[in-house]
Amino acid sequence: MTKVNVTELGKLTKDALEAKGIKLDSKESKDTVETVFEVIRERLLAGDNIDIFGFGKLENKTRAARKGRNPQTGLEMDIAEKRAIGFKPLGELKKRLNP
């Protein structure tokens, strides 16, 4: 599996847009990608779920407080409630992941 950083994602976006006849320079494409992720981040932190058509759904989830056990000492401990982000692939992506 390959990791892709924002700069590389910007370059890939630039190439994809150019294939569709849209011209952006590298800085503009990187700024576009950063802006999209900034908006997604803000909406998730505000508690919204995000549906991205043909890709998937980012969902806010709350994990309830529970009792746990320290694996080193075996002592029982309280684990606080916490928020997490879940991802569900949708549509074509889901079909192609598990043919």
pLDDT in tens, 37-71: 899 999 999 999 999 888 899 999 999 999 999 99
Give the model's pLDDT for residue 52.
87
CA distance 7 to 5: 6
CA distance 75 to 88: 35
* 3-state secondary structure at position 78: strand
Confidence of residue 13 (pLDDT cuts 50, 70, 90): confident
Residue 90: count other Cβ atoms within 10 Å of its Cβ: 15
Give the model's pLDDT for residue 64.
95
Whether pLDDT at 82 is above 90: yes
Give the model's pLDDT for residue 2.
62
Give the model's pLDDT for residue 93.
87
Q: Which CATH superfamily is domain 49-99 in?
A: IHF-like DNA-binding proteins (4.10.520.10)
Residue type present at position 85: I
Q: What is the mean pLDDT of the chain?
A: 87
pTM across the whole model:
0.71
Give the model's pLDDT for residue 6.
67
Of 4 and 89, the one with more pLDDT: 89
**Helix count (H) and strand count (E) of the chain?**
3, 5
